[in-house]
Chains A and B, each alone.
Chain A
Amino acid sequence: MDILLTVLLTALLAAPLGLLIARLYAAPASRLTSGLLRLCGVNAALGMNWRQYSVALLGTNAVLAAAAYLVLVTQGALPLNPDHIGAMRWDTALHTAASFITNTNQQHYSGQSGLSYFSQLVAIVTLQFVTPAAGMAALFAVLRGLRGEVNVGNYYLDVTRALGALLPASLLLAVLLTSQGVPSTWSGAKSATLLQPQRVEGQLLTTQTIPVGPVAAMVAIKQLGTNGGGWYGPNSSTPLENPTPLSNLASMVSLILFPVSLVIASGVFLNRRRFSAALLGVMTVTSAALITGVVLAERQPNAALLGHAARGGNMEGKEVRLGTDATALWASLTTQTSNGSVSGMHDSLNPLGGLVPQLGMFLNDVYGGIGVGMINMLVFVILTVFIAGLMVGRTPELFGRKIEVREIKLASLLILLQPALVLGFTALTLAVPSLSGTSNPGFHGLSQVLYEYNSAYANNGSGFEGLGDNTPWWNVTCAAVLILARFLPILAPLAIAGLLATKKAAPETSGTLRVDTPVFAGMLLGVMVLLQLLNFAPALVLGPVAEQLSLTRAAATTPAASTAATTPATTPAAPTPAAVPTTHSAPLTGAAR
């Protein structure tokens, strides 16, 4: 039911929103917009070529990243800090600023205990609005280039247009979320008297501290802006952040809505609706396959419960009110769209259930982050046109413009960058076990490291959260991956579009390769799978596939009673959850984020 309604609501809302966005980007600047831009010394009618557009994008992003870093390292002395939270460590703050300026929202801290309200709003929420707006702006600049316009637009105006769509949508969603129970207050943490006082390490615990705050405002934009993360460490699995199945439905539709509608908006803006329908078809087929994979995997029991419980889906790391289907759907959608907020713990997914989100992030263009997902897809269109051109022996061209050496070099750079950074850093980190911080032994430890760099490269932000990642090594290397993987995949396609725009368009004839046919769509799908997924197949075989096989073997040969027999424990520093949880004698893990 959750799956059906999510699909239906998205389908209903995406088309009108797509049309609206296309109109927004074709209309002249409103008086309010021009006025705001004049405040910043920007003439709304000023045009930019692709180089000037890139400079504006990098310059404004650098200013906001620096501001966010400064706020985080000084938050202890800043206002709006009712719970007296201290300054953030330099490396965590560096990673956090990089993570939020790149629309990733990978968190190596726990918001409810690590950020003041001022930081949550000024540093986090600001970037959660501006970064999807920058992605949307970049998409329309690329589209203008593909239309043959050397003048790719005005960056400041394009960002402002996107914010004009994101701000009212977030306000509506925030009110809806509050009606379901997401806190919306300036008050500090609440204190409650426990119904049954508990003895913890010899001390009598009689109260429970419940962090609140202006949570709904943040949660709304983190979902709508393909941001991810969360006010609370466990994101939208936290009942205060996602209280009911209804808030869950609204959150899921919100996280997929803008990426889908931007595909539609692109078709309208290019005046090539059949082309965008073909892309939408490729994305939707892939998306359906990924969703099916996680849902089926999570309906299987958790191997650790075999012989000790009634049969049922994998509930470790999941919430009762959401159940396995809705959580699996979220896990798939959040990794397809570069959102990255979670509603259940991906570390505890069944091995194959944890593999599929990794596929979504490797692809990163089904439907991808706001703006950037569609840009990634256009790069694959160019590569597919090139490969198809080679196959039939014709000069490859897109929309009548020749694709030549420089364009293909830039596109190839992006294809090589992903495996180089993701696999390179994974190998490096695993080679030095004291750096890795893995909390699960055996094959799963490899998956944890791979997932973290994959998530950083995809600007996704979700994680196998048992990983002890708040260390200088993780913070600095992830920050580097985040920045490279955000800006190169924006700037290179912008350059390609800018270069294409300067070329003379040849008339399309019956011999021209059509890019809006089912055949081309099939070819595109094939190129995506070959170029993006096969790179990572060996790593996935060593991680989740091997884990699944070891569990299957264990279940077949020995009853679940044998414990440490099958998986070699190679990792140090794994917190060993020892005892029975209801007695409070030992926490299950120390890895709360």
Chain B
Amino acid sequence: MTTQSINPKPDTLPDTPAEPSFQAGPQPGVLSWLTFGALWIAVCGLAYPAVTTLLAGGLFPAQANGSLITRGTQVVGSALVGQTFTGDGYFIGRPSAAGSGYDPVNASGSNLAPSNPALRERVQALSRQIAAREGVSADRIPPDLLTASGSGLDPHISPAGAQLQVPRIARVRGLSQGVVLKLIADATERSPLGLGQPGVNVLRLNLALDAAAPLPGAATPAR
């Protein structure tokens, strides 16, 4: 290597073998560009995803198909996608900017800047609504309940956001607060090593709620 002789403090000897000496010759032309492109389309665009999807789908079939949740024989959602809940009988998730709300085809955040008056108006109205619904003052509402997630599909709320709703749920469902808290604990998902934040999966929690105490006279779909 040319550089070695001029390096004032040569590092240790190279642990890589020397570059093979290149040959001179005519350069590849357009035909080579085309076949080179076709080669990597076949390998990277077709063979790689085929092998990956076969392998990953074979090893983890449930996850590979969207982590669907079934009740009886009916698919009622995905553990990874939130749904809109309204009214007093269900735990209510975060506001969603995905289409008409929690629409995966139109997944999106609000993209509102903190300085945008529209965000302030939305937060203000929702804060009042939650304060009235749960009978608490605004300074007890955790920020996640007032903010739209990045995807608009966030399946989780914070544990504090779930606990805030316990008195209302217990009252409407005729359950003790202890039972409801237990259901929240069961639906709380945490990662190992203290990664990320714990989140309460709202769809799983509401399904457990329906199983524990069906809504009196509500439009809960039959099994």
Q: A344–B147 contact, CB under 8 A? A: no
Complex Cα spacing A146 to B158, Å:
54
Q: B195–A245 contact, CB under 8 A? A: yes
Q: Which of B9, B111, B147, B194 has the largest number of chain A CB atoms within 10 A?
A: B111
A323 to chain B, nearest CB (A): 4
In this assembly, does A391 line the interface, its C-beta being within 8 Å of a C-beta of chain B? no
Contacts of B32 in A (CB 8 A): 40-42, 156
Q: Considering the complex, which residues of chain A in the window 63-88 have a beta carbon less than 8 Å from any beta carbon of chain B?
A: 63-64, 67
**Interface residue from B8, B67, B100 paired with A587 (Cβ < 8 Å):** B100
Given contacts A192-B68, A209-B104, contact A274 B49 (CB under 8 A): no
Complex Cα spacing A55 to B195, Å:
47
Q: Which of A20-28, A407-415, A473-481 contacts B (4 or more CB under 8 A)?
A: A20-28
Q: A147–B44 contact, CB under 8 A? A: no
Complex Cα spacing A314 to B115, Å:
13
Interface size on B, residues (CB 8 A): 144
Complex Cα spacing A477 to B156, Å:
39
Q: Which chain A residue lies CB-closest to B12?
A: A273
Contacts of B217 in A (CB 8 A): none
In this assembly, does A419 line the interface, its C-beta being within 8 Å of a C-beta of chain B? no
Q: A195–B221 contact, CB under 8 A? A: yes
Per-residue 0/1 for B34-64: is the Cβ within 8 Å of any A Cβ (1 yes, 0 no)? 1111011101111011011101110110011
**Interface residue from A55, A465, A550 paired with B115 (Cβ < 8 Å):** A550
In this assembly, does A393 line the interface, its C-beta being within 8 Å of a C-beta of chain B? no
In this assembly, does A56 line the interface, its C-beta being within 8 Å of a C-beta of chain B? yes
Given contacts A122-B45, A514-B8, contact A240 B81 (CB under 8 A): yes
Q: Considering the complex, which residues of chain A in the window 104-156 have a beta carbon less than 8 Å from any beta carbon of chain B?
A: 110, 112-113, 121-123, 125-126, 128-130, 144, 146-149, 151, 153-154, 156
Interface size class of A (residues with CB under 8 A): 35 or more
Q: A591–B108 contact, CB under 8 A? A: yes
Contacts of A177 in B (CB 8 A): 56
Complex Cα spacing A584 to B84, Å:
8
Q: Which chain B residue lies CB-closest to A346?
A: B111
Q: Which chain B residue lies CB-closest to A318?
A: B150
In this assembly, does B176 line the interface, its C-beta being within 8 Å of a C-beta of chain A? no
B159 to chain A, nearest CB (A): 10
Q: Which of B125-133, B166-174, B177-185 contacts A (4 or more CB under 8 A)?
A: B125-133
Complex Cα spacing A22 to B123, Å:
53
Contacts of A392 in B (CB 8 A): none
Q: Which of A253-261, A299-307, A488-496 contacts B (4 or more CB under 8 A)?
A: A299-307
Contacts of B107 in A (CB 8 A): 110, 112, 232-234, 238, 592
Q: Which of A215-223, A332-340, A357-365, A428-436 contacts B (4 or more CB under 8 A)?
A: A215-223
Q: A121–B22 contact, CB under 8 A? A: no
B60 to chain A, nearest CB (A): 5
**Interface residue from A122, A196, A320, A465 paired with B90 (Cβ < 8 Å):** A196
Per-residue 0/1 for B137-157: is the Cβ within 8 Å of any A Cβ (1 yes, 0 no)? 011111111111111111111
Contacts of A22 in B (CB 8 A): 16
Q: A122–B3 contact, CB under 8 A? A: no
**Interface residue from A56, A122, A310 paired with B140 (Cβ < 8 Å):** A310
Complex Cα spacing A237 to B94, Å:
15
In this assembly, does B207 line the interface, its C-beta being within 8 Å of a C-beta of chain A? yes
Complex Cα spacing A447 to B113, Å:
10
Complex Cα spacing A344 to B152, Å:
11
Q: Considering the complex, which residues of chain B in the window 65-124 have a beta carbon less than 8 Å from any beta carbon of chain A?
A: 65-69, 74-81, 83-87, 90, 92, 94-124
Complex Cα spacing A175 to B36, Å:
28
Contacts of B216 in A (CB 8 A): none
Complex Cα spacing A179 to B63, Å:
6
A31 to chain B, nearest CB (A): 14
In this assembly, does A564 line the interface, its C-beta being within 8 Å of a C-beta of chain B? yes
Q: B196–A2 contact, CB under 8 A? A: yes
Given contacts A2-B196, A42-B28, A196-B219, contact A309 B81 (CB under 8 A): no
Given contacts A310-B141, A316-B147, A345-B111, contact A45 B97 (CB under 8 A): no
Q: A316–B119 contact, CB under 8 A? A: yes
Q: A191–B75 contact, CB under 8 A? A: yes
Per-residue 0/1 for A187-203: is the Cβ within 8 Å of any B Cβ (1 yes, 0 no)? 10111111111101100
Q: A508–B117 contact, CB under 8 A? A: no
Complex Cα spacing A307 to B154, Å:
24
Q: A59–B30 contact, CB under 8 A? A: yes
Q: B86–A196 contact, CB under 8 A? A: yes
Contacts of A178 in B (CB 8 A): 56-57, 59-60, 63-64
In this assembly, does A266 line the interface, its C-beta being within 8 Å of a C-beta of chain B? no
Q: A46–B23 contact, CB under 8 A? A: yes
Given contacts A125-B45, A302-B143, contact A567 B115 (CB under 8 A): yes
Complex Cα spacing A28 to B6, Å:
26
Q: A193–B144 contact, CB under 8 A? A: no
Q: Considering the complex, which residues of chain B in the window 180-211 have a beta carbon less than 8 Å from any beta carbon of chain A?
A: 189, 191-197, 199, 203, 206-207, 210
Q: A465–B122 contact, CB under 8 A? A: no
B160 to chain A, nearest CB (A): 8
**Interface residue from A189, A304, A323 paired with B116 (Cβ < 8 Å):** A304
Q: A442–B151 contact, CB under 8 A? A: no
**Interface residue from A5, A121, A216, A273 paired with B45 (Cβ < 8 Å):** A121
Q: B105–A60 contact, CB under 8 A? A: no
In this assembly, does A557 line the interface, its C-beta being within 8 Å of a C-beta of chain B? no
Q: Which of A91-99, A166-174, A377-385, A454-462 contacts B (4 or more CB under 8 A)?
A: A166-174
Q: A163–B83 contact, CB under 8 A? A: no
Q: A320–B94 contact, CB under 8 A? A: yes
User: Knowing that A41-B31, A128-B44 are A-B contacts, what are 7 other residue pairs whose CB atoms are under 8 Å apart, sorted by A's residue number?
Assistant: A192-B76, A321-B154, A547-B114, A551-B114, A560-B124, A577-B118, A581-B95
Name B's A-contacting residues (CB within 8 A): 1-11, 14-20, 22-25, 27-28, 30-37, 39-41, 43-46, 48-49, 51-53, 55-57, 59-60, 63-69, 74-81, 83-87, 90, 92, 94-127, 129, 138-158, 160, 189, 191-197, 199, 203, 206-207, 210, 219-221
8 tightest Cβ-Cβ pairs between the two chains A and B? A47-B22, A245-B196, A237-B150, A466-B111, A581-B95, A592-B108, A245-B195, A178-B56
